[in-house]
């Protein structure tokens, strides 16, 4: 657990000092919202409103891909990755520390993006702020778990930036569908759908366990 805390603190401190990842993720997410607004201007039809949760989560995933690409890139400087791999500790906790650092950043980006999205598309998140925050957090956790795991592999391939989305996007469907379904219900004033929440919880759990167990082999050089 000390390793988890140390890695989490290190990543957040680096981010606090440089603010590179969070600013890039946020600006990118806002640009995606603007592009979505221009490509599909808000219309007061049931079809247009039904597409909104999906559009919001597409913006979240794009921002996450950008941020997660940097999750392990900063460990390449001074060959810090070798240092991490040689640390006399369970590597699974290194993975969890890195995941939580990305999760914290993504949560912040999600909050600001939701505000911008609400303003652009006339969506009022205020009445459902708390349950929506829960859904966003569950979705962000799954994205960060899969993304951090894939990022650790992608960073050591020839086409790093291109490789991460290719690896993580085919795996993210359960997270995306669960989150979109739950967001859709909330925006329509319905109760949170139990099955969507179950899907998010089970997917987060399964991905966390598999990636935690497999991470030892990722750093095994």
Partner 1 sequence: MLNVFDATSPIARAPAARLTSVLCIGLFPAWAFAVFNAPIDSFQGVIQKILYIHPPLAFGAYLGFICTALFGALYLWKREPRFDHWALSAAEVGVLLCTLMLLTGPIWGKGTWGRWWTWDLRLTLTLLLYFVYVSYLLLRAFSEGSERAARFAALYGILGLVVVPLNRFAIELSGGRALHPANLNPGDDQLGAGMTSPFVLGVLLVFACFAWLLVRRYELCRLREAVLLQEAESEREDAWAT
Nearer to partner 1, 16 or 159 (CB): 159
Torsion sign over Cα 106, 213, 8, 218? negative
Stretch that binds partner 1, among 84-92, 94-102, 133-141, 156-164 (CB under 8 A): 156-164
The residue (of 4 and 176) whose beta carbon lies closer to partner 1 is 176
Binding mask 179-218 for partner 1 (x = CB under 8 A): --x-------------xx--x--xx--x---xx--x--xx
State the binding string over 24-53 for partner 1 (x if CB under 8 A, else -): ------------------------------
CA distance 202 to 198: 6
Q: How far apart are CA 169 and CA 160, in angstroms?
A: 15
* Contact window for partner 1 (CB under 8 A) among 12-20, 65-73, 105-113, 150-158: 150-158
Q: Is 95 in the site for partner 1 (CB under 8 A)?
A: no
**C-alpha distances in Å from residue 135, one per residue of 51, 113, 203:** 17, 15, 13
Q: Tally the residues of the chain.
A: 221
The Cα 56–Cα 100 span in angstroms is: 22
């Amino acid at each position: 657990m000390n390793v988890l805390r140390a890695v989490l603190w290190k990543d957040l401190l680096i981010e606090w000092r440089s603010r590179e990842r969070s600013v890039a993720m946020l600006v990118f997410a806002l640009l995606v919202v603007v592009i979505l607004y221009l490509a599909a201007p808000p219309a007061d039809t049931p079809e247009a409103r039904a597409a909104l949760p999906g559009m919001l989560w597409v913006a979240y995933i794009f921002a996450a891909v950008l941020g997660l690409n940097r999750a392990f890139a900063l460990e390449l400087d001074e060959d810090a990755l070798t240092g991490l791999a040689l640390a006399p500790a369970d590597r699974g906790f290194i993975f969890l520390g890195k995941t939580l650092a990305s999760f914290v950043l993504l949560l912040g980006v999600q909050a600001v993006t939701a505000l911008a999205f609400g303003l652009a598309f006339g969506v009022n998140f205020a009445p459902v702020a708390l349950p929506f925050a829960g859904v966003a957090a569950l979705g962000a956790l799954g994205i960060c778990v899969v993304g951090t795991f894939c990022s650790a592999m992608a960073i050591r391939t020839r086409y790093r930036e291109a490789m991460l989305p290719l690896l993580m996007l085919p795996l993210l469907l359960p997270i995306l569908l669960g989150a979109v379904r739950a967001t859709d219900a909330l925006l329509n004033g319905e109760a949170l759908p139990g099955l969507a929440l179950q899907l998010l919880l089970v997917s987060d759990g399964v991905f966390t366990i598999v990636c935690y167990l497999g991470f030892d082999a990722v750093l095994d050089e």
